[in-house]
């Protein structure tokens, strides 16, 4: 039996591309709010944008957990890994 583990992390894990690829780590974009503007980390907003927002507004960006809809694309690979690592139990 394989001891495979599927790692899913939010985009703020800040792992470099080499590690993400080597370990097949899937990242989910973390919601970032710049005042009233909702963005997704690494998609709509990047680190320099966060510093610029703070410089201009004097306010820190806020974050929230990814929605279930943002997590859904990772579900098939997590389910497959789970299926491969499940041992049926006899009663």
Query: Per-residue pLDDT tens for 23-63?
Result: 988 888 999 999 999 999 999 999 999 999 999 999 999 99
Helix ranges (H only) for the chain are: 17-22, 47-57, 68-71, 75-84
- DSSP state, residue 13: G
SS3 assignment for 46-66: CHHHHHHHHHHHCCCCEECCC
The answer on pLDDT for 79 being more than 70 is no
Percentage of the chain with pLDDT > 90? 45
Verdict on whether the full-model pTM lies above 0.85: no
How far apart (Å, rounded) are the C-alpha atoms in residues 52 and 58?
Answer: 10
């Amino acid at each position: 039996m394989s001891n495979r583990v599927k790692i899913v992390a939010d985009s703020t894990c800040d792992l470099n591309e080499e590690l993400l690829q080597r370990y097949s780590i899937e990242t989910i974009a973390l919601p970032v709010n710049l005042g009233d503007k909702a963005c997704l980390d690494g998609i709509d907003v990047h680190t320099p944008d966060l510093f610029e927002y703070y410089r201009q507004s004097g306010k820190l960006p806020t974050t929230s957990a990814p929605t279930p809809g943002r997590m859904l694309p990772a579900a098939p690979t997590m389910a497959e890994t789970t299926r491969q690592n499940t041992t049926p139990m006899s009663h």
